[in-house]
Amino acid sequence: MPLNEFDIINQYFNRAIAPESAVIKGIGDDGAIVSPTVGKQLVMSVDTMVAGCHFPENTSPFNIGSRALCTSLSDLAAMGAKPLWFTLGLTLPESYNEWLEQFSAGLFSIADRYHCELIGGDITRGPLTITIQVHGEVFPDTILRRDGAVAGDQVFVTGPLGDGAAALAALQNEISISLEDHHYLSKRFYSPEPQIIAGQTIAALAHSAIDISDGLLADAAHIAKASGVAIVLHIDRIPTAKALKNVDRERRLRWLLTGGDDYQLLFTVAAKRVGELADLISQKHIHAYCIGEVRADNSGQYHVRCFDQGQRYHIGKCHESGYQHFTT
């Protein structure tokens, strides 16, 4: 039997606030009241996911919940922030117990993992849509932004790329892969690990950072434009998961460069501090792979250029901008 709005909230989303929480008032009033940590700044980001656009319409409710919060938390990771709270806007065609039970279980499996409390939101009826706003905190002198890259910086990525696009192809039966690889890619798609620890680890070291959601080329271009520089990428250095090894090279490169939905961090570090990053890598505090460098760009174009084994690599113009809404 369908539930009304307040039944849904109380039964599936209204959880007790921990005594040590900085939440003064969460769900149940006109607004949440929180107490930010003295000396830190708040970071806030909002993302919306629509069925059939951001995930297949036959996706399980548990996976929808986990994916929605994971992808939102990735924005906090990109800014070096510690997750604190989130709000949920949920639009549902129907309010069935089984769906809500599974969705909330998926959502809270991620919330509990990253110690992020649900403090409010809204529920309405309509096509399946999930909007999440995440809140985090960071010290002012360690916040990561897109606009800090400097000529001479080295460009790094925290892990393999292309998994998101490959996963979608596998889920839509466009490629044939082993059960092991299918399981790996499904997990990467539905529970993409937000690089929270990596973001906090590099926060005092990196000049700039962004999470790779729209595609490597598009997100590198965001850094280049915001920082007023050019970025050179060596695509033969980009880490790739074993699950993609048997995919033909051109298709794989297209996924690496423009597929998006990878949620790794792309960041830049001054050449003189690469040794410090190498120490963090060797001590297993972080995974990071050098895939390029930042160069001066006096043209005002702020290009991202790709090289493959030392030779210039060109990709079609239609792929350069990555994923964008309201485009054909």
Annotated binding site for substrate: 54, 261, 323
Annotated binding site: 30, 45, 47, 54, 75, 121-122, 146, 211, 213-214, 261, 323
How big is the chain, counted in residues? Answer: 328
Q: For tokens 């539930």, what's the residue?
A: 3
Distance of CA 91 to CAs 50, 124, 166, 193, Å?
9, 5, 28, 25
Q: Give the count of beta carbons closer than 10 Å to the beta carbon of residue 156.
A: 25
Structure tokens belonging to residue 294: 């930042």
Annotated binding site for Mg(2+): 30, 45, 47, 75, 122, 211, 214
Annotated binding site for ATP: 121-122, 146, 213
Cβ atoms of 255 and 212 closer than 8 Å: no
Q: For tokens 């299918």, what's the residue?
A: 182
Query: Could you give the dihedral angle defined by the CA atoms of residues 71, 76, 78 and 79, in that order, rounded to the nearest 10 degrees?
Result: 160
Distance, in Å, from the CA atom of 159 to the CA atom of 279, rounded to the nearest integer, reads 17
